[in-house]
Amino acid sequence: MAHVKIWVHSVWGTKNHKRVLTREFRQKLFTHIREHGKEKGVYVDCINGDMDHVHCLLALNADMSIAKAMQMIKGEASHWANASKLMNQKLDWANEYFAVSVSESMTGKVRSYIGNQEEHHKRTTFANECEKFLKRYEFESQG
């Protein structure tokens, strides 16, 4: 048996950066994402966000790629949200997402960062946060 745990910090936003993820809806959405992830073999360690995006620390097993996990999480979450009609409008995610590996020793720091999203975004926008991530992890150099 393979023993695999790969930590990933993933971030994705709403389509066109629409600020539709109210605090009440986010809590229901995040609970659903955790439960569905567990059913599908994706361990969602922590999840939080703001009105226009979501941060998630998840652990992948040997059978799950990042692309497969993100497709499963984003696609199923929007399908569930729209079918349950918990919002007055349709939930659509942007196609792109951000994902980086996290070492075991840094999971506490990432959990803290994710847990503090509402306070963090009183000082900066999601667009600024994305720009910093892209520079920090040198995504621009990938072409």
- Residue range 60-68: average pLDDT? 91
CATH number for the domain running over 6-142: 3.30.70.1290
Closest by CA to 8, choosing from 53, 56, 76, is 56
Evaluate if residue 46 carries a pLDDT over 70: yes
Note the pLDDT tens digit of each residue in 115-133: 999 899 899 999 999 898 8
Give the model's confidence band at 37: pLDDT under 50 very low, under 70 low, under 90 confident, else very high. very high
How many Cβ atoms from other residues are within 10 Å of residue 70's Cβ? 21
Buried b / exposed e over 82-117, threshold 16 CB at 10 Å, is: eeeeeeeeebebeeebbbeebeeeebeebbebbeeb
- Scan for tokens 């959990």, then name that residue: 111
Evaluate if residue 143 carries a pLDDT over 70: no
Closest by CA to 56, choosing from 98, 22, 92, is 98
- Residue range 8-25: average pLDDT? 96
Query: How many H helices and E strands in the chain?
Result: 5, 4
| pLDDT-above-90 percentage for the chain | 77
Mean pLDDT of the chain: 93
Evaluate if residue 26 carries a pLDDT over 70: yes
- Residue range 60-70: average pLDDT? 92
